[in-house]
Amino acid sequence: MKVLVPIKRVIDYNVKVRVKADNSNVDLANVKMAINPFCEIAVEEAVRLKEAGIATEVIAVSVGDKSCQEQLRTALALGADRAIQIETDEKLDALNIAKLLQKIVDEEQPQLVILGKQSIDSDNNQTGQMLAALTGMAQGTFASEVKVEGDKVNVTREVDSGLQTIALNLPAIVTTDLRLNEPRYASLPNIMKAKRKPLVVMPAADFGIDLSPRSKLIKVTPPATRKAGIIVDSVDTLIEKLKNEAKVIS
């Protein structure tokens, strides 16, 4: 079976983003970019399915400008077989991304689509579920375990009260949580090999989808800053402060 893995180029997770002085957006100039950590986990899971003889082909796809080819190459170095870039310079809403991905699903007919549960920039947590709705597929979100069994996939999900396991008819959508796996590092030979793997560019404009924005970013501001705290020299002082100054314990 084919596995499709949509991935996103985002700010590196170690970087603390800054808001632009004019409050128009965050400042991404000269900021280190990387594959979204949840997407990397998605690629790893797909590659493991291939190594286990369950998946036959792993296809990575990303929506974005030319720079996202770097992350597609990363996915190829991790073990994806080929890549598709849906080219656009616009920052699209999750719904429009899902509509573009739906076309790829229609064409490639994957049995499993694995995505990250959220991207660490917009923190939306939407694309996988939207793609599931548009394709009529079942979804297993926030997955910490994925087991393909015959024409079903069992997904264990991280939920507020613990873990929930559900069974989905294939084809299905899975979105990854942090504990699904620990992604490997791409080896140098695999990075070299990835350069020769196929990467197809498809302009988003050719998809025949109305991609007009569904929301407008009015402004972006920095979060409220906390006032500087103090280091206390003893447990006694801490308890005294919590009781009498902060009044949060009695």
Partner 1 sequence: MSILVFAEHDNSTLKADTLKTVAAAQAIGGDIHILVAGSDCQSVAQEAAKVNGVSKVIVADSPAYEHQLAENISLLVTELAADYEHILATALTTGKNFMPRVAALLDVAQISDIIAVESSDTFVRPIYAGNAIATVQSLDSKKVITVRPTGFDPVATDGSAEVVAIDSVTDAGISSHVSDQLSVSERPDLGAASIVISGGRGMQNGDNFKLLEGIADKLGAAIGASRAAVDAGFVPNDMQVGQTGKIVAPDLYIAVGISGAIQHLAGMKDSKIIVAINKDAEAPIFQVADYGIVGDLFDVLPELEGKL
DSSP state of 68: G
Sketch the per residue contact string, 65 through 94, with ligand FAD: x for CB under 6 A, - otherwise.
Answer: ------------------------------
- The one-letter code for the residue type at 77 is A
Residue 233 C-beta-side C-alpha neighbours within 13 Å: 0
Per the CB < 8 A criterion, the answer to whether 85 and 200 are in contact is yes
Residues facing residue 86 across a β-bridge: 63, 202
208 binds, among ligand FAD, partner 1, none (CB under 5 to 8 A by kind): none
236 binds, among partner 1, ligand FAD, none (CB under 5 to 8 A by kind): partner 1
Of residues 125 and 190, the one with the C-beta less far from partner 1: 125
Size of the site for ligand FAD (CB under 6 A): 4
Q: Strand 162-169 relative to strand 152-159: parallel, antiparallel, unpaired?
A: antiparallel
Per the CB < 8 A criterion, the answer to whether 71 and 49 are in contact is no
User: Alpha-carbon distance 63 to 55, whole Å?
Assistant: 23
Candidate list 6, 34, 35, 37; residue touching ligand FAD; CB under 6 A: 37
Nearest to 148 by CA among 111, 104, 175, 109: 111
Of residues 109 and 187, the one with the C-beta less far from partner 1: 109
Of residues 25 and 56, the one with the C-beta less far from partner 1: 25
Of residues 48 and 117, the one with the C-beta less far from partner 1: 117
125 binds, among ligand FAD, partner 1, none (CB under 5 to 8 A by kind): partner 1
Binding of residue 32 to ligand FAD (CB under 6 A): no
Of residues 56 and 124, the one with the C-beta less far from partner 1: 124
Cα distances from 84 to residues 64, 158, 201, in angstroms, run 11, 30, 6
Nearest distance in Å: CB 52, partner 1: 21
Residue 146 C-beta-side C-alpha neighbours within 13 Å: 31
Task: Copy the structure tokens of residue 98.
Answer: 């899902």
Binding of residue 13 to ligand FAD (CB under 6 A): yes
Nearest distance in Å: CB 14, ligand FAD: 8
Binding of residue 183 to ligand FAD (CB under 6 A): no
